[in-house]
């Protein structure tokens, strides 16, 4: 008897999702609570677990389909998978599997059907994580031809990169995959890839922020000498005691919570004709995920130590790459910090994350000549950028906030004594 697998509740106000990939194929054995599919929502990827143990039945939807909460997506048959696997037809050779899937209209794991992405065959050695799937698409590697070195034989990003670097030269002359239309016969090609639901939501929210807020950005720079020296002096002891590396974000988040307490309007938001002030600092931290930036929230950051902040950020970063961040961890937030410096950004004007009223942009550390006590010296400097909603925050308050942050970073003792 077949058991239906339905789209689970995805979170408050979220009624639908997009099928990102199938983690189990028809005929494969499935354990109870084992993930069988990945759904992409407006914020994060959600894995759908099997309600019972048995054999994966038929997929009711394809990769790229939009499904509503409660909709049927698959069935689980009774059995252990051995009989079903032996009864199922043998898979086509690796070279022809993508074309066969495209011709039959069957779902192709890790892609969006016939939209120009490099097809990923369903006879891959193991289910692909979102980060590996992205690497497969970027490098154009057939995962069925790559031996995985990860747990249980799973592919890693390093496996995909190594396979891409050893591809024969003639592979570059192979015909473009179905859906990638060549603009001319001279090798100029175009590829159309469907936007993920996360990317669509990012685009919508950023444009809404520009349309609704009176955004302005003010800048300052900060001498990172003291923080760099403190980090170099204590990083080994810090990691030994707390089990996490000492980075710069812990200092900046802690300094930001102190500045937000002094300048409460930067931590406020507008709701209708009212201003909502928060006596807590829920700091949204932008971290990189396979499908774009996501912004999990450090709750009550003002109560955490630098070590507690670093542990939380490290956990967020790891789970963002694995696609396992939870919906509740993405909600709320009163202020955002985005660190473009890890990608080499020298200066930028970050966009507010509504309904918040301000966002702090951090940038790369660069040695520059500055004047100290009448002498020109070289210091490791970083530009800070605060974008804010001018409807709520005046220029004086924005500048005062940045100066308070600058003072705390240039003299970390202020963080210790809450000055």
pLDDT (tens digit, 9 = 90+) per residue, 253-279?
999 999 999 999 999 999 988 999 999
Task: Indicate if 198-417 has the same CATH topology as 3-173.
Answer: no
Please, what is the average pLDDT of the chain?
A: 79
CA distance 336 to 386: 10
For residue 413, which phi and psi values (nearest 5 degrees)?
-60, -30
Domain ranges across the chain:
3-173, 198-417
CATH number for 3-173 (one of 3.90.1150.10, 2.40.50.100, 3.40.470.10, 3.30.360.10): it is 2.40.50.100
- Between CA 80 and CA 53 the distance in angstroms is 8
Task: Name, in order, each residue with C-beta under 8 angstroms of 266's C-beta and a sequence gap of 6 or more.
Answer: 259, 260, 335, 357, 358, 386, 388, 393, 397, 398, 401
User: Which class for 90: exposed (0-12), middle (13-18), buried (19 or more C-beta within 10 A)?
Assistant: exposed
Q: What DSSP letter does each residue of 185-216 carry, written as one string?
A: TTS-B----PPPHHHHHHHHHHHHHHHHS-EE
Alpha helices in 166-297 (DSSP H): 197-212, 225-242, 249-262
- Whole-angstrom Cα distance, residue 409 to residue 418? 12
Query: Catalytic one among 236, 262, 328, 390?
Result: 390
Q: What is the token pair recorded at 234?
A: 């204590």
Cβ-proximal residues to 417 (8 Å cutoff; 6+ apart), any chain: none
Comparing 132-146, 217-231, 395-409, the range with the smallest average pLDDT is 132-146
**Contacts with 159 (C-beta within 8 Å, 6 or more apart), sequence order:** 132, 146, 147, 148, 149, 150
Of 328 and 109, the structure prediction assigns the larger pLDDT to 328
Average pLDDT over residues 184-197: 76
In 92-188 the beta strands, taken as DSSP E runs, fall at none
- Written as six digits, the tokens of 48 are 């759908």
**pLDDT for 387 beyond 50:** yes
Q: Does domain 198-417 have CATH number 3.40.50.2300?
A: no
Indicate if 390 belongs to the active site: yes
Concerning whether 394 is annotated as a catalytic residue, the answer is: yes
Q: Which residue has the tokens 């774009």?
A: 292
Bridge partners for 356 per DSSP: 269
pLDDT at 208: 80
Q: Which residues partner with 117 through β-bridges? A: none
Q: Residue 136 pLDDT > 80, yes or no?
A: no
Q: What is the pTM of this model?
A: 0.61
Which has the closest alpha carbon to 216: 394, 390, 33? Answer: 390
**What are 61-82's pLDDT values in tens digits?**
888 788 888 888 888 888 765 4
Q: What is the mean pLDDT of residues 407-415?
A: 91
For residue 283, which of 331, 248, 327, 335 has the smallest C-alpha distance?
Answer: 335
What is the C-alpha separation between 196 and 202, in angstroms, rounded? 10
Instruction: Of 124, 146, 99, 142, give the one whose Cα is nearest residue 24.
Output: 124
Residue 47's CB is within 10 A of a number of other CB atoms, namely 16
Annotated active-site residue in 142, 394, 411, 418: 394
């Amino acid at each position: 008897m077949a058991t239906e697998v339905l789209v689970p509740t995805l979170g408050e106000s979220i009624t639908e999702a997009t099928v990102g990939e199938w983690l189990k194929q028809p005929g494969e054995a499935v354990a109870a609570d084992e993930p069988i599919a990945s759904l992409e929502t407006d914020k994060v990827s959600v894995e759908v677990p099997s309600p019972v143990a048995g054999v994966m039945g038929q997929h009711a939807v394809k990769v790229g389909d939009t499904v509503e909460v409660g909709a049927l997506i698959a069935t689980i048959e009774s059995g252990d998978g051995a009989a079903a696997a032996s009864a199922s037809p043998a898979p086509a050779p690796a070279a022809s599997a993508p074309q066969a899937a495209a011709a039959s209209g069957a779902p192709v794991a890790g892609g969006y059907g016939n939209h120009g992405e490099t097809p990923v065959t369903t006879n891959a050695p193991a289910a692909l994580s979102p980060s590996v799937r992205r690497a497969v698409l970027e490098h154009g590697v057939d995962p069925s031809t790559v031996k995985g070195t990860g747990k249980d034989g799973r592919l890693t990003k390093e496996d995909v990169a190594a396979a891409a670097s050893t591809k024969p030269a003639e592979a570059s002359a192979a015909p473009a995959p179905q859906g990638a239309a060549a603009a001319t016969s001279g090798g100029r090609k175009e590829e159309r890839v469907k936007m993920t639901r996360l990317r669509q939501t990012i685009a919508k929210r950023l444009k809404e922020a520009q349309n609704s807020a009176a955004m302005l950005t003010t800048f300052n720079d900060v001498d990172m000498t003291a923080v760099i020296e403190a980090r170099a002096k204590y990083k080994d002891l810090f990691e030994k005691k707390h089990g996490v590396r000492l980075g710069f974000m812990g200092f900046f988040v802690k300094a930001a919570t102190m500045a937000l307490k002094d300048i409460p309007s930067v931590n406020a938001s507008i709701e209708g004709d009212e201003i909502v002030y928060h006596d807590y600092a829920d700091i949204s931290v932008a971290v990189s995920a396979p499908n774009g930036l996501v912004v999990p929230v450090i709750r009550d950051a003002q109560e955490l130590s630098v070590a507690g902040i670093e542990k939380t950020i490290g956990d967020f970063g790891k789970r963002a790459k694995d696609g396992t961040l939870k919906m509740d961890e993405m909600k709320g937030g009163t202020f955002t910090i985005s660190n473009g410096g890890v990608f080499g950004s020298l200066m930028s004007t970050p966009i507010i994350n509504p309904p918040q009223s301000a966002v702090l942009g951090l940038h790369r550390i660069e040695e520059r000549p500055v004047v100290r006590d009448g002498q020109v010296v070289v210091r490791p400097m970083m530009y800070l950028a605060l974008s804010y909603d001018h409807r709520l925050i005046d220029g004086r308050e924005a500048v005062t906030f940045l100066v308070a942050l600058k003072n705390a970073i240039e003299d970390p003792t202020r963080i210790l004594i809450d000055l």
